[in-house]
Structure 1
């Protein structure tokens, strides 16, 4: 089993985790220091607790977003530096995937709708089902107004978008479920085993708001343009 070092700083809470086989240890920092100040000390603590060096790890994973612009950049930058220094591959993991896995693990949900507050009266959201314990996107991640979140069926809802825009989600859910490095590490182990890694130089954040992905309206417009030109 691979040894995965994971970093997640896309929200108000920063976390780091070290996965070895089925065992995972982690550290969390919230509010005391900035994420950039907190991450490296947490990583040093994890490596010391495990009795290993960075070079003993097989890959460095990070929450690639969506999330806080500064936070996502922090995780990517630290992961790049560690991957360069340790001559290790990097594994970007979408934060919404990690939230879905957390909801599945903590609440037994087999169908999950993740809703993450994107500020500016918008949310990032995606819907998942689970196969062999891993999330599979039913509705890929998009950025919309809360009122435009349209799940399929009756999934379990999670994420801080539920509390930030409670009027749009009267059925409620698990608003406390947020991205954490433990799930980033677990999903990265799956990607690592499948060869889905990148070099340190190739590691990039995911900014849904910056056109890395498209909103639903943009997808409809592109589809209409394509049909019109066919």
Structure 2
């Protein structure tokens, strides 16, 4: 399995290339300039891994929720590559990617829950909950956007961890949610390494879409995605 993953949904810009169990990655924390960073990262990964783009089996990207501008950048690059290489695309939740980071780095283990929150601006957060079951990240709540004082935990877990920029608003969250947290990581953001890990874990049975159907998920209903001209 050879897969290239991209993420520009938050303040980080990252790319990762998975080839038969080995993961190569590039990441930079930069609120702006994702377009300038992303393509050089891809070239570096191709050179380091020795895997040509033409040898890839699929592409994956962080489909959101997250920064509207960032989502458009990753989606546009993935669409262009997928059209040019005739590859399927695996859209991966950016919230799930942060939960996967907890598992990948050993911060969370079997039976643990991860409550992921991103700062959505306008006094709201993007929110969802996950648990670790049989070594995999499983969703226990639907993704939503809401004020911090309306978040709630979901899932029968042994302990809870919080992750994502939304936890900078922890003082506005309900007391039961705050009290349940063993630890919080408000500096965590999605990484392409975790996008790749989730995409490969579900391959080939997970959801894939053709290039023209690769689109961001904003969660806020009023936002729409405009496909590439002529597609």
TM-score bracket for this pair, using the shorter chain length? 0.7 to 0.9
Summarize the alignment of residues 57-76 of structure 1 with structure 2, pairs less than 5 Å apart: 57-76=56-75
Moved more, 18-27 or 179-188: 18-27
Which residue matches 1:108? 108
Q: Which runs of 5+ in 1 are unaligned?
A: 213-230
Which residue matches 1:99? 98
Residue of 169, 172, 193 corresponding to 2:204: 193
Residue by residue over 1:114-145, the C-alpha shift from the partner in whole angstroms, topping out at 9 and shown as x without a partner, is 11111111000111112232211111111000
Which residue matches 2:172? 168
- Compute the displacement of 1:191 (Å): 3.0
- Compute the displacement of 1:199 (Å): 0.5
The answer to whether the Cα contact below 8 Å between 1:91 and 1:191 also exists between their aligned partners in 2 is no
1:120 aligns with 2:131: no
What CA distance in whole angstroms lies between the structure 2 residues aligned with 1:26 and 1:133?
22
Q: Between Structure 1 and Structure 2, how many residues are aligned?
A: 210
Residue by residue over 1:162-207, the C-alpha shift from the partner in whole angstroms, topping out at 9 and shown as x without a partner, is 11x1312555511122100000001111233215211001111101
- Compute the displacement of 1:33 (Å): 6.0
RMSD: 1.8
Secondary structure in 2 matching 1:197:
coil
Return the TM-score normalized by structure 2.
Answer: 0.85
Secondary structure in 2 matching 1:127:
strand
Aligned CA distance change for structure 1 residues 205 and 211 (closer, same or farther; 3 Å):
same
Secondary structure in 2 matching 1:74:
helix
What CA distance in whole angstroms lies between the structure 2 residues aligned with 1:52 and 1:176?
32
- Compute the displacement of 1:211 (Å): 5.5
1:207 aligns with 2:218: yes
Aligned CA distance change for structure 1 residues 26 and 168 (closer, same or farther; 3 Å):
same
1:155 aligns with 2:157: no
Aligned CA distance change for structure 1 residues 32 and 13 (closer, same or farther; 3 Å):
closer
Which residue matches 2:48? 49
Structure with more of its chain in helix, by fraction: 1
The answer to whether the Cα contact below 8 Å between 2:12 and 2:31 also exists between their aligned partners in 1 is no
Q: Which runs of 5+ in 2 are unaligned?
A: 224-231
Aligned CA distance change for structure 1 residues 108 and 51 (closer, same or farther; 3 Å):
same
Aligned CA distance change for structure 1 residues 174 and 31 (closer, same or farther; 3 Å):
closer
- Compute the displacement of 1:156 (Å): 1.2
What CA distance in whole angstroms lies between the structure 2 residues aligned with 1:13 and 1:39?
11
Residue of 191, 194, 198 corresponding to 1:183: 194
Which residue matches 1:14? 13
